[in-house]
């Protein structure tokens, strides 16, 4: 663990001047800071917990988490989405073990207490053996304070104070809408995920997905391999931009250039389909490639959702859900899926074993190892800080390799940690 | 290796074992280019996360045809960070069973494997997971096809015991 820094507040662990930006190593390595993050950030934000396409019918459920709080996300008989803590009100026993399924009732295996599909109490067993009037305070599982659904994404919060979801997104909303505009009817279906774990802090993945600088180094072997086999000509001198938002959100924006030759026709057609559907200008916006961070645990990536699940200060799970674009021609979906599932581009493959993402995950473990060494105190995130452009009070933009989304993340981190 | 004893001799258990041992040895000795020649031209190397899913439309841990395997091996030789340092492996194979195929030219072989793996680590061994032996237990299915009197892999499927759980760095050849 790093040497404790002389500061009385967590926000002192992020230092900013007009030309420099640093984050203290303990932010990645101190278990006490991790605990505070779970309370101050995860439990008081909108956390992504599931996608509606995973729970289509009444009684469908999936288990998930908000920080370290295990939750059941379910569809009630009224067709609404519910998020409840996955613990029986009796003795706290975890009720659901499966990743997903369908139930008539949620029944605790310990003493048989049962709950309806929406989490409300169905039955406390052996009622006769309790004092009269006992248990009337128990209405059901402990529900998340707030639940909202946007483009099929289900978000939950364990705070009453969090602003409405759209307000939390602020100017990011426009870009989230663009991303879902990839599907002609504005929504997606998620496939089963890749599931990867790594020995590093959760923020290392969050930083990396909008880092436009690392690819030419971390992914050099993937780029070299793809070039060698002539799938396409990867251009590393990319153009584009970065965006950072209040609320910790961020974007890496680039043209979609890594299309393998044999899928080029489908992607060209897809671009024309978008332009026809939305109009030329809007359609072009839709076709721009964006990696979008919805602070703190969701990233909209190249045709996949990336969900970050912190486990401990130095252990993280990443779930990646490829999406199927609804209302979009099958052969275009097929081309998109082929590019994701086969090792044919820098957008391909799994974080467990893929040519590209496995190298990122390795870097996270490698960074964690270096940060844990103790005396390398300050992580530097200053690239391009001198040329950040304020688009509005809530949005800044910069060049595509600038560490601008990372700074937005840590400005919000400092604000939330206090 | 994998030589059939005459055109009509069916694959028996001992023949299957010879084939599997030799295949595993090529991986363990890092003779991956030679290992790749064991595959039929339409051969598939599949590490499913759900062995009942359609691998063309759903996610797998790995689903490689031979051209993808060729890329994977090339990357292993060219500074693949997830394989710096490279994994060392030792395969143990047991419970070998040969299922009669529809004809003498194709057979299903099932076996269990324990694959011990370790990346040797840096000098200070700082990074968690490095220099720590891991073991992967798997139920494997091989579809072997006779081509020009040699057995070739039409499908190698490695069904890991923890295939549907979060996994850490499987960027080596199993």
Question: Using CA atoms, how far apart are residues B116 and B137, in angstroms rounded to an integer?
Answer: 9
Beta-carbon separation of B61 and A352 below 8 A: yes
| Contact map slice: B 2-41 vs A, CB within 8 A | none
Answer yes or no: is pLDDT of A235 > 70.
no
Answer yes or no: is pLDDT of B160 > 70.
yes
ipTM value, please give it.
0.93
For residue B123, the model assigns a pLDDT of 73
CB A365 within 8 Å of CB A387: no
Closest B-chain CA to A315: B128
Answer yes or no: is pLDDT of A343 > 80.
yes
Which pTM was predicted? 0.95
Does A315 or A3 have the greater pLDDT score? A315
Answer yes or no: is pLDDT of B4 > 50.
no
Residues of B in contact with A222 (CB under 8 A): 75, 80
Burial A278-294 (b: 16+ CB within 10 A, else e): beeeebebbbebbbbbb
Q: How confident is the model at residue A244 (pLDDT cuts 50, 70, 90)?
A: very high
Query: Best interface-test mutation with A: which of B46, B168, B174 has the largest number of A CBs within 10 A?
Result: B168
Q: What proportion of chain A, given as a percentage, has pLDDT over 90?
A: 88
**What is the arithmetic mean of pLDDT over A298-319?**
98
Residues of B in contact with A199 (CB under 8 A): 127-129, 168
- The structure tokens 């006769």 sit at A128
For residue A7, the model assigns a pLDDT of 57
Answer yes or no: is pLDDT of B103 > 90.
no
Closest A-chain CA to B53: A192
Question: Using CA atoms, how far apart are residues A44 and A355, in angstroms rounded to an integer?
Answer: 36
**What is the arithmetic mean of pLDDT over A365-376?**
90
Per-residue CA distances from A186 to A151, A198, A352 (Å)? 7, 33, 30
Is B62 an 8 Å CB contact of chain A? yes
Q: How confident is the model at residue A234 (pLDDT cuts 50, 70, 90)?
A: low
For residue A3, the model assigns a pLDDT of 53
For residue A236, the model assigns a pLDDT of 53
For residue B1, the model assigns a pLDDT of 46
Please tell me the least confidently modeled range out of A7-16, A115-124, A289-298, B153-162.
Answer: A7-16
For residue A374, the model assigns a pLDDT of 77
**What is the arithmetic mean of pLDDT over A267-291?**
94
Beta-carbon separation of A229 and B61 below 8 A: no
Residues of A in contact with B166 (CB under 8 A): 195-197, 317-319
Answer yes or no: is pLDDT of A9 > 70.
yes
Closest A-chain CA to B73: A225
| Contact map slice: A 32-91 vs B, CB within 8 A | none
Is A199 an 8 Å CB contact of chain B? yes
Answer yes or no: is pLDDT of B8 > 60.
no
The phi and psi torsions of B144 (rounded to 5 degrees) equal: -105, 135
Question: Using CA atoms, how far apart are residues A156 and B159, in angstroms rounded to an integer?
Answer: 35
CB B48 within 8 Å of CB B55: yes
Question: Using CA atoms, how far apart are residues A141 and A86, in angstroms rounded to an integer?
Answer: 8
What is the nearest CA distance from A329 to chain B, expressed in angstroms?
Answer: 15
Q: Which helix (H) or strand (E) holds A251?
A: strand A250-254
For residue B32, the model assigns a pLDDT of 98
**What is the arithmetic mean of pLDDT over B39-66?**
97
CB atoms within 10 A of CB B148: 6
For residue A148, the model assigns a pLDDT of 98
Answer yes or no: is pLDDT of A233 > 80.
no
Across chain B, what does the average pLDDT equal? 92
CB A403 within 8 Å of CB A213: yes
Answer yes or no: is pLDDT of B101 > 70.
no
For residue B9, the model assigns a pLDDT of 73
Is A1 an 8 Å CB contact of chain B? no
Closest A-chain CA to B121: A366
Question: Using CA atoms, how far apart are residues A410 and A18, in angstroms rounded to an integer?
Answer: 15
- The structure tokens 């703190």 sit at A296
Cα A188 to its chain centre, rounded Å, is 16
Across chain A, what does the average pLDDT equal? 94
**What is the arithmetic mean of pLDDT over A311-317?**
98
Answer yes or no: is pLDDT of A5 > 80.
no
| Contact map slice: A 177-196 vs B, CB within 8 A | 191-196
**A49-58, A219-228, A345-354, range with greatest mean pLDDT:** A49-58
For residue A230, the model assigns a pLDDT of 83
Beta-carbon separation of B127 and A365 below 8 A: yes
pLDDT digits (tens, 9 = 90+) for A102-161: 999 999 999 999 999 999 999 999 999 999 999 999 999 999 999 999 999 999 999 999
Question: Using CA atoms, how far apart are residues A325 and A385, in angstroms rounded to an integer?
Answer: 37
Closest B-chain CA to A190: B58
């Amino acid at each position: 663990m790093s040497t404790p820094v002389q500061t009385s507040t967590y926000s002192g662990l992020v230092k900013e001047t007009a030309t420099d930006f640093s984050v203290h190593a303990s932010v990645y390595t101190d278990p006490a800071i991790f605990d505070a993050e779970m309370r101050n950030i995860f439990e008081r934000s909108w956390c992504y917990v599931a996608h509606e396409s995973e729970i289509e019918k009444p009684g469908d459920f999936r288990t998930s988490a908000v920080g370290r709080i295990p939750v059941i996300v379910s569809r009630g008989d009224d067709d609404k989405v519910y998020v409840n803590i996955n613990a029986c009100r009796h003795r706290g026993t975890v009720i659901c073990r499966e990743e997903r399924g369908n139930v008539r009732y949620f029944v605790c295996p310990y003493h048989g207490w049962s709950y309806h599909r929406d989490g409300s109490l169905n039955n406390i067993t052996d009622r006769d053996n309790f004092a009269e009037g006992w248990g009337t305070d128990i209405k059901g599982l402990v529900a998340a304070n707030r639940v909202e659904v946007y483009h099929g994404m289900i978000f939950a919060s364990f705070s009453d104070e969090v602003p409405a979801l759209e307000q939390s997104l602020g100017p990011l909303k426009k870009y989230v809408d663009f991303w879902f505009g990839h599907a002609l009817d504005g929504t997606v279906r998620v496939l089963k995920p890749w599931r990867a774990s790594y020995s590093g802090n959760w923020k290392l993945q969050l930083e990396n997905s909008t880092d436009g600088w690392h690819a030419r180094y971390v992914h050099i072997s993937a780029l070299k391999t793809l070039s060698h086999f002539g799938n396409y000509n990867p251009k590393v001198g990319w153009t584009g931009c970065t965006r950072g938002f209040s609320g910790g959100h961020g974007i890496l924006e680039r043209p979609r250039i890594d299309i393998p030759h044999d899928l080029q026709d489908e992607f060209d057609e897809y671009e024309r389909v978008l332009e026809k559907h939305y109009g030329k200008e809007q359609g072009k916006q839709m076709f721009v490639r964006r990696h979008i961070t919805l602070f703190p645990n969701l990233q909209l990536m190249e045709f996949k959702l990336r969900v970050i699940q912190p486990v401990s200060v130095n252990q993280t799970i990443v779930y990646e859900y490829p999406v199927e674009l609804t209302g979009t021609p099958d052969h275009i979906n097929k081309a998109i899926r082929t590019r994701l599932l086969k090792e044919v581009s820098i957008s391909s493959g799994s974080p467990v074993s893929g040519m590209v993402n496995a190298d990122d995950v390795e870097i996270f473990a490698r960074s964690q190892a270096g940060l844990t060494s103790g005396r390398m105190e300050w992580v530097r995130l200053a690239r391009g800080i001198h040329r950040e452009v304020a688009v509005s009070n809530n949005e800044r933009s910069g060049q595509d390799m600038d560490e601008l989304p990372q700074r937005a993340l840590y400005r919000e981190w400092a604000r939330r940690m206090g | 290796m994998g030589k059939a004893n005459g055109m009509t001799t069916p694959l028996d258990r001992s023949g299957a074992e010879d084939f599997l041992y030799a295949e595993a040895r090529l991986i363990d000795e890092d003779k991956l280019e030679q290992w790749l020649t064991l595959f039929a031209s339409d051969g598939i190397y599949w590490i499913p996360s759900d062995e009942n899913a359609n691998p063309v439309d759903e996610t797998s841990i790995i689903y490689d045809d031979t051209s993808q395997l060729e890329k994977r091996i090339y990357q292993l030789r060219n500074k693949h960070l997830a394989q710096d340092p490279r994994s060392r492996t030792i395969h143990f194979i047991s419970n070998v069973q040969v299922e009669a195929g529809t004809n003498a030219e194709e057979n299903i072989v099932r076996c269990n494997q324990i694959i011990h793996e370790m990346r040797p680590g840096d000098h200070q061994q700082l990074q968690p997971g490095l220099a720590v032996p891991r073991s992967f237990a798997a139920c494997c299915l091989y579809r072997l096809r006779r081509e020009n009197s040699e057995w070739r892999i039409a499908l190698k499927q490695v069904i890991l015991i923890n295939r549907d759980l979060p996994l850490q760095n499987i960027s080596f050849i199993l």
